[in-house]
Chains A and B, each alone.
Chain A
Amino acid sequence: MTAQPTPADQPAAGEPLLSARDVVQEFVVRERGGGKAGVVQAVSGVSFDVMPGETLGIVGETGSGKSTLARAILQAPRPKSGSVVFRGTELTKLRGGRLLQARRHMQFVFQDPFGSLDPKWRVRSIVEEPLIAYRTGDRAARRKRVDELLDLVGLDPARYAKRHPRELSGGQAQRVAIARAVALEPSLIICDEAVSSLDVLIQAQVLNLFEKLRSELSLSYLFIAHDLALVKQVSDRVAVMYLGKMCETGPGEAVYRQPLHPYTRALLDSIPSTEPGAARAAATIKGEPPSPINPPSGCRFRTRCPRATDLCAQEEPEPRELAAGHLVACHFPLNQPAPVATAVAAADAATGVTFRSV
């Protein structure tokens, strides 16, 4: 394999391709009758960069806000506050045609290919649509381009161009969605659970296709999924989200080898392994995520965190860079000894509080 562009190869002064700062997205929940029942704090102040040629993976469970974040980046809907700068343009200020033009280089691949392909259209029209929408080339040129694109994603144009989505398998339909996404030569593709509905063998094919397109078209990806191993496979850097916040960001290898946030550790421990020697996935965190309508004070993970102390309830931890490019938002990151037992024991000893049974 040829050397892939990695963040380390980028000049330090390199401008990020996509830069999100303090993105906030909230939705009002109405009661029956229209009264305001609460505000879902789906994304609460998330910041990240994607460098050219880089893949940033975002991992999170249901309700972590990862999909809402992706849509906020795309301005569909526009985030409530915060800034999204893509290729040097602030997207949150743009309207109508200007936004469309700026978004041309940012494409989306969703989880369910059949849901995103018009069932009445043929594959050729589906892939051609963005070319027409952005007035690219004449009819003959577009036709040639569609053939190229289908070839690129591994579908024989002679066999597949005339088919309807229902005549495709899940993997083939996802390839069509990918062909459409790369039609306008985007610089960034946002994949939201793009391979999650596919069988493993097909999933491997599509993942390899993403990698091939990455090197051939020098693409960047924002790769969103709930599956950590999957995200690790494709990402240079990984961000872990919990209840609307990013709790840990760093180089993929570092985040997996030495997670700093207790939530990341819990996620890693929950993955069933095919190594029978490995400890069976124990339910490392108990209970369920709290409601995003009324998130816990301080650190949002504290209600389920084995290391939480009073400080975690009082003060929200700010992201800190503990190793090169490795940020964690935790008062007691895992590279430090656990606070709870020691803190309590120390306090007991200091104040001379009676030790219960020893």
Chain B
Amino acid sequence: MTDALLQVDDLRVSFAVGGLEVRAVDGVSFTVDPGRTLAIIGESGSGKTVCCRAIMGLLPGTAAISGSARLRGSELLGLSDAELRRHRGSDVAMVFQDPARSLNPTMRVGVQITEAIKTHRAVSRREAQTQAIELLRLVRIPAAERRFHEYPHQLSGGMRQRVMIAIALACRPKLLIADEATTSLDVTTQAQIMELLLELQQELDMALILISHDMGLAASYADEVVVMYAGKIVEQAPAMRLFGTGGAVRMRYTRALLDAVPHLERPAHYPLPVVGGRPPDPTALPPGCSFAPRCASAADDCVAKAPALLEHAPGHRWACWHPCENGGAA
């Protein structure tokens, strides 16, 4: 896998909060190949967002970051702001959950897109404007010339997210990170935006990282799925391997995430399988497996020693002493 677009190795991020060390990301390694889609799945606080923000250089100076994240072989961690700015936008771009808060409410959207273009390219104002309108068309915004002169509040949530994607694509990045980019949108709008992202991915030969809590989104749109829990990757496999009938889920946490989501196929009032407890306190992670306190099949060895994330089957990594059989289907 030397031709990976992004290679993340043993990434660790911790924060000092009130004299305690919060280990937000705890030894994460993964790769993204050009033009592919990786989904990073996890609950709030699992470290999925911090992980990607570290790669983008968007964490505050108080974060202690170690490990490596190489984009086409060049290291992204520890770069100066100026060096980072060169990468951000042109190589890697990010789209966030809340487009209303990511856009400047006092600036017309056209100006905001033009600004992104002029930051990265030496072009005239007129040329930047032409490109901006082209970008609006690229993200399938109808009446692009008119929208160019509108303010964010005049656009719907879906349209704002399209504008954010247009800004992210201004310099044709090779990797786009979408951090819960469709979470605040309606399902029909989400379907439109996801379709748009996949079309653009084809057109621009771009790799995607989808950060989400939604297993359905990962199953429908990702090639590869990474499941995070308490700052660690606990399972990673191709989406086809994890989901569906004959799915080969080995980690009980992944199984729990899949089972806890209401399914249309189930009858009403179906009792959802419940996992008790909460994710561990990130300032006091247990010495063994982080999921052991909530795991139905935890044994003494789980509490004593954390299982390593190993490739047990081709392309399928998991970190569990007692993985489930038959995909864990009840």
Contacts and interface: CB of A to CB of B under 8 A. Distances in A.
Given A61-B186, A274-B261, A276-B244, A232 B268 contact: yes
B290 to A, nearest CB: 14
Interface string B224-247: 000000000000000110011100
A92 interface: no
Interface of B: 43-44, 156-159, 186-192, 194-195, 213-217, 219-221, 239-240, 243-245, 256-264, 266-276, 278
A203 B259 CA distance: 12
Contacts of A227: 187, 262
23 contacts: A1-B269, A62-B157, A199-B43, A200-B257, A200-B260, A201-B274, A203-B260, A204-B274, A208-B274, A226-B187, A228-B264, A230-B262, A232-B264, A267-B188, A270-B187, A272-B214, A272-B219, A274-B215, A276-B219, A277-B244, A280-B221, A285-B188, A286-B192
Given A62-B186, A201-B257, A204-B260, A274 B216 contact: yes
A143 to B, nearest CB: 27
Interface in A233-259: 233-236, 252-253, 256
A281 interface: yes
A136 interface: no
A234 B264 CA distance: 11
Which of B44, B239, B261, B270 is packed against the most chain A CB atoms within 10 Å?
Answer: B261
Interface in A1-41: 1, 4
B268 A233 contact: yes
A283 B269 contact: no
Nearest to B271: A208
A234 B274 CA distance: 15
Contact of B191 (A171, A199, A232, A284): A284
B269 A234 contact: yes
B243 to A, nearest CB: 5
Contact of B43 (A201, A273, A275, A284): A201
A211 interface: yes
Q: Which interface class (under 10, 10 to 19, 20 to 34, 35 or more) fits A?
A: 35 or more
B156 A288 contact: yes
Q: Nearest 5 CB-CB pairs, A to B? A: A233-B262, A272-B216, A204-B260, A61-B186, A272-B220
Contacts of A286: 192
Contacts of A200: 43, 213, 215, 257, 260-261
A274 B239 CA distance: 10
A207 B195 contact: no
A277 B245 CA distance: 9
Nearest to A59: B187
A282 interface: yes
B322 to A, nearest CB: 20
A275 B273 CA distance: 19
Contacts of B217: 272
A55 B267 CA distance: 14
Contacts of B192: 283, 286
Given A234-B268, A288-B156, A199 B221 contact: no
Contact of B220 (A4, A203, A273): A273
B158 A274 contact: no
Contacts of B259: 204
A212 to B, nearest CB: 9
A171 B44 CA distance: 12
A237 B240 CA distance: 34
Contacts of A269: 191
Contact of A271 (B157, B187, B245, B270): B187
Interface string A114-131: 000000000000000000
A272 B221 contact: yes
A169 B278 contact: yes
Nearest to A289: B156
A268 interface: yes
A277 B219 CA distance: 10
A326 to B, nearest CB: 15
Interface in A311-358: none
Contacts of B240: 276
A218 interface: no
A229 interface: yes
